[in-house]
Structure 1
């Protein structure tokens, strides 16, 4: 098994890279998708969030109000640490299970936005980072995700810097052109760094 940790800041183009790696034959384990699943009603993540932050972070239907929770944790590093202490162990456990199920011949890509922040980079054969200019990332969050500029900048500020990610990476893909440009970089990474090790 070849394990790859994929990371990058919010709105850097990591999802595009992840999809391409899946098309090339990788088994992708998506930490964000796992985190969303464990925060569904009746799941241990949501129960832990309610215990930590109270019912004000729920919608009237009893689901997680992501906006309300985001307003708390992106304004307060201590609150964010409390949230991470609830969610990260659950996500890691499920990620390990999914990776193990992929089989010995698999190329397993774990898509982990907070790979650097959670100190996980050392457990992968390769670390692949996607970078994009900060202003472009802000534009994407505002136009594509409906965030305010202030919210977008707060989310970027809450994550590791490009320099911190690059310092633990084997390969950095710079997403400052077209989608086709980015996909060509992914294909080159696969041909040069993954295919020879399979």
Structure 2
């Protein structure tokens, strides 16, 4: 992930693809990272040049099926870069989901409840506290959101509501139940990049 340029990929099979592309592009612009690029990932070849991958929100069963169909399951499981997973992405990162249609990646030791808050009409917004995030509460947008109902010791819980865990980290992975790409607040995108050392390397710092 060193060098003068960096590429972040957004899994472009279904879901909030363009919104994440715009958010990461804005995060790089905000830091003056002119040579960074954000691309759509639809195949293993697309993924191979990326320093990080976003798995966006959408329909987790559909995204799971398309990951398998496009030959991306093992390339994502063995991907050496960071993964930024939101909403349906959080479902896919889990080790256990009570839905046999979802072929989870098993990258974070956690059990996830799909659509934990109900159907589309139960979508809501809330100001949440995220551990280690400067600048006050994060205004989170929850759309048919999942929650983590249990997490292993390797998973760091960043934020919880009464229903369960809504933000978590494990090493180079970040999983969020909500949609940070929709609210204009780039702090979580920037935190993810900093955790990987992408921003510091790209800006020529050590």
Report TM bin, short chain: 0.3 to 0.5
TM-score (norm 2): 0.38
TM-score (norm 1): 0.40
Larger Rg belongs to: 1
Q: Considering Cα pairs closer than 8 Å and 6+ residues apart, tell me whether 1 or 2 has the greater RCO.
A: 1
* Greater strand content: 2
